[in-house]
Structure 1
Amino acid sequence: MTGKLYLIPTTLGDTEPLEVMPISVKKVIEQIDVYIVENEKSARRFIKKISPKKSQPDLQIMLLDKYAEEIETRQYLNACKEGINVGLLSEAGVPAVADPGASIVKLAHENNIQVVPLVGPSSILMAIMSSGMNGQNFAFNGYLPIDKGERKKAIKELEKLSKDKNQSQIFIETPYRNEKMFADLKTTLSPTTNLCIAADITLPTEFIKTMSVQNWKRQTPDLHKKPAIFIIQK
């Protein structure tokens, strides 16, 4: 019998795992000893937190990062072919969504390995849920350009796309550049465009607010080094 590939979510910050995800995640982790992860240290810390009695020395950890060669990662699911279940563990949130792992999931499908997604927090979905914007038609755009001119051009293009398609436009930024992004949004977007900022989702410091750019110009939320989701809709 072929093993399964379990897509295992993690917390979005330092919260108790079972406060934001079902007991089924704990049960799966207690059964699996082979993991594909982005960062070994944080993965072991999460596994220990959700399953304190699990033997850490027994864990087999394979790294999924930009340095991993394709020929190497193609061996990561060999355990499944031997009947052993494997866990693909996200760094934060759910695997393969704004997170590495899609190549492993694709490989599983190519090899007729059953893929089992587990329920857990996704900052993207939780942000659109709580934004009051169009949840029937939305697009996730990942990171915008770092160059200031290119970033402002991208912001205007997303604003136009939002108006033309009645589509919520979602994007993210590296936490230490959030304040620069916020400044560019205020100066680039139309005053009547709605902007949602959702930061530190599921944490005690959670901040989610939607209002017009005109009103945002009178507020300065603390976004420094906080994971944040930005959504605009014209």
Structure 2
Amino acid sequence: MKGQLYLIPNTLGESPIERNLPQETIDIIRSIKYYVVENIRTARRFLKKVDKSIEIDELTFYVLDKHTNPNDIPGFLKPINDGRHLGLLSEAGCPIVADPGADVVSLAHTQKIRIIPLVGPSSILLSVMASGLNGQSFAFNGYLPLKKGEVGKHIKHLEERSIREKQTQLFIEAPYRNMKLLQELINACRPQTRLCIACDITLETEYIQTKTIAQWKGKIPDINKRPAIFLILG
């Protein structure tokens, strides 16, 4: 009998496990001995935070990152075919969403493996919930282009799409570039466009605020090097 593939959420930062994961998710994590992870060191730290009694040396980790050879991925599912459960663990938030791992899940589907997504925090959904913007229609766009001169153009494109489709547009940036992106948003967007800045979601330092671009001018919060997600609605 085959095992199952569990999609395991992580916390969004150094917030308490019990605030982010229900007991059933914690119990399942305790029972799994095989994991697909992006980084073994941070995965070990997370598992010890879930339960200090977990014997890390008894676990097997498969690394899935930008250096992973695609030909190695089928081997990650061997424990499942041997009747063991496998956990696909995110670095932060929910697996697959703005996170690697889709190839593992896709392959599991072709092998008729049961895939079970577990409950946990998602910065995308939590920010939409708290933004006051359109939660009936929204699109996550990941990272914006890095090339000089392209960021402002892409922001204008997303703003136009937001106006045309009445759709909230979400995107993220590397934390150390947050302030630069905010300035690009102020410069590129129309004064009446609404911008939500959602930073440190689920942490004690959580900051979520929605204002028009005109209202943000000259009053940008310092979110340098803090995990954030940005939402606009024209």
CA distance in 2, matches of 1:188, 1:148: 14
Partner residue in 1 for 2:39: 39
User: Hey, which bits of structure 1, 4+ residues long, moved more than 3 A?
Assistant: none
Q: Larger deviation: 14-23 or 108-117?
A: 14-23
Deviation of 1:24 after TM superposition, in Å, equals 1.2
CA RMSD of aligned residues (A): 0.7
Per-residue CA distance 1:29-62 (angstroms, 9 max, x = gap):
1110100000100100010111111111101011
2:12 is the alignment partner of 1:12: yes
Confirm or deny: 8 A CA contact 1:5 1:116 kept in the other structure.
yes
What's the counterpart of residue 97 of structure 2? 97
- The residue aligned with 1:222 is 222
What runs of 5+ residues in structure 2 fail to find an aligned partner?
none
Counterpart residue number, 1:189 = 189
Structure 1 distance, partners of 2:161, 2:186, is 18
Amino acid at match of 2:34: V
SS of match in other structure, 1:84: coil
Q: Deviations over 1:87-106 (max 9, x none)?
A: 00000000000011111111
TM-score normalised by the chain length of structure 2: 0.99
Name the residue aligned to 1:115: 115
Q: Which residue of the partner structure matches residue 141 of structure 2?
A: 141
8 Å Cα contact 1:29-1:51 kept in structure 2 = no
- SS of equivalent residue, structure 2 residue 75: coil
Count of paired positions: 234
What letter corresponds to residue 40 of structure 1 in structure 2?
Answer: I
Structure 1 unaligned residues grouped into runs of 5+: none
Counterpart secondary structure, 1:75: helix
Asked if the contact 1:26/1:50 (under 8 Å) is kept, the reply is: yes
Shift of 1:148: 3.2
CA deviation after TM superposition for structure 1 residue 220, in Å: 1.9
Residue 85, structure 1, aligned to residue 63, structure 2: no
The TM-score normalised by the length of structure 1 is 0.99
SS of alignment partner, residue 6 of structure 1:
strand
CA contact (8 A) 1:199 1:223 kept: yes
Tell me by how many angstroms 1:218 deviates.
3.0
Identity of aligned residues (%): 49
C-alpha distance in structure 1 between counterparts of 2:171 and 2:15, whole Å: 24
